[in-house]
Amino acid sequence: MYQRTVLIVEDELLIRMVLADTLEDEGYEIVEAGNVLEAIAVLGQRKIDAVITDVDMPGGLSGFDLARMISDQRMDVPVIIASGRHRPRPDELPGEAVFIPKPYGMDAISAMLDEMTSLEGRRLAG
């Protein structure tokens, strides 16, 4: 059985660790990045099935920038954007990215990932 890989892009270590542990328990393989530049490097090196990114991060690039890059490169990678400060309208989200406000429940993230990365969900979206 194929193990889906999720890239978590979050500069707050504790949030990243909790999210990673929860999703590993759900059966996902997890790759972590602390900023957008690290995330771009990961995306260039391995197959990623979904990205969860915070909006505000160090280094001058935001989660919106990352989602825009993924969309512009026509990467077939679903993106979940999370933030406790920003509340973007759907038309402000890059590509097919979806938004979830912080604090979010782990069940909500898991359900979103299951839908976005399932073969059936990808067929319906495509």
pLDDT along the chain (126 residues), means of 10: 90 96 95 97 95 95 96 90 91 91 92 82 43
Tell me the H-state helices in the chain. Answer: 13-25, 36-45, 63-72, 106-117, 119-125
The pLDDT value recorded for residue 30 is 98
Longest dimension (CA), the chain: 39
In this prediction, residue 122 carries a pLDDT of 45
pLDDT at 124: 41
Say if residues 60 and 37 touch (Cβ distance below 8 Å).
Answer: no
Which sequence spans correspond to the domains of the chain?
5-125
**Does domain 5-125 correspond to CATH entry 3.40.50.2300?**
yes
What residues contact 15, with CB distance under 8 A and at least 6 apart?
Answer: 54
> What predicted TM-score, i.e. pTM, was given to this entire model?
0.90
